[in-house]
Amino acid sequence: MECAEPAALAHDENLGEAELRGLRLAAQHAKGVTLDSVRLGDCDLSESRMEHLRIVHGELGGCNLANLQARGATFANVAIERSRLTGIDLAEAALSDVTIRDCRVDLASFRAARLERVTFADCVLAQTDFLDARLDSVRFHGCNLSEADLRGARLRTCELRRNDLTGLQGVESLRGAALEWSDILDMAGVWAAALGIEVLDGED
């Protein structure tokens, strides 16, 4: 069901069981907005401030959420595909049963967030911040995690496959994660540096 496109979002607004396409609501300022059972296609919420945003049972495709400030947000049973999330702020957010596929999520912040049963597939997560976040059953498949920051993060039963981990910060936080053997070998120098092991050249 499609509904009329709102001209703006109000504080504590609740949009439910709707399909919205081509929505242009950049630079909104609305706290406590709830999107329940919605499908968003080619929608623009970039540069908006939407603290405590709730998206439940949602599908987002081809959307622009760049630089969206959504501190304390809740995403549950959400699928996001082919969307731009560059610079999104999801600090202190709670994400559960979420799939993010083929998206740019670089320069984003998940600081102190809790992620449960979340999958990132074929995403760019370069320089993204997971500082002090809690990741439980999170999967990173085919992602660019170069220069991402995991310092202080706690991982439990997480899985990383075929990712670019160049310059990853906080590698010691990968304790509790599972990696493919080829990735472990590629990271040998990083592991050595994290453990304070000096790498010797060949015999003199």
How many CA atoms within 13 Å lie on the side-chain side of 88?
27
Q: Residue 172 carries which DSSP code?
A: G
Per-residue pLDDT tens listing for the chain (204 residues) = 445 556 678 888 988 888 989 989 999 999 999 999 999 999 999 999 999 999 999 999 999 999 999 999 999 999 999 999 999 999 999 999 999 999 999 999 999 999 999 999 999 999 999 999 999 999 999 999 999 999 999 999 999 999 999 889 998 898 889 998 888 887 777 777 776 777 777 665
User: What dihedral do alpha carbons 19, 24, 29, 35 form, nearest 10°?
Assistant: 10
Q: Are 96 and 116 in contact (CB under 8 A)?
A: yes
Domain residue ranges of the chain, discontinuous segments joined by +? 7-104, 124-190
- The Cα–Cα gap between 108 and 127 comes to 7
- The Cα–Cα gap between 3 and 120 comes to 30
Q: Are 176 and 156 in contact (CB under 8 A)?
A: yes
**The residue type at 17:** E
pTM exceeds 0.85 for this model: yes
Q: Which tokens go with 37? A: 């059972």
Phi, psi of 168 (to 5 degrees): -60, 130
User: What dihedral do alpha carbons 92, 97, 101, 107 form, nearest 10°?
Assistant: 10
Q: Are 140 and 120 in contact (CB under 8 A)?
A: yes
Considering Cα of 97, then 99, then 104, then 106, what sign does the dihedral take? positive
CATH tag for 7-104 (out of 1.10.10.60, 2.160.20.80, 1.10.1370.30, 1.10.3720.10): 2.160.20.80
Q: What is the CA radius of gyration of the chain?
A: 18
Q: Which tokens go with 150? A: 């995991």
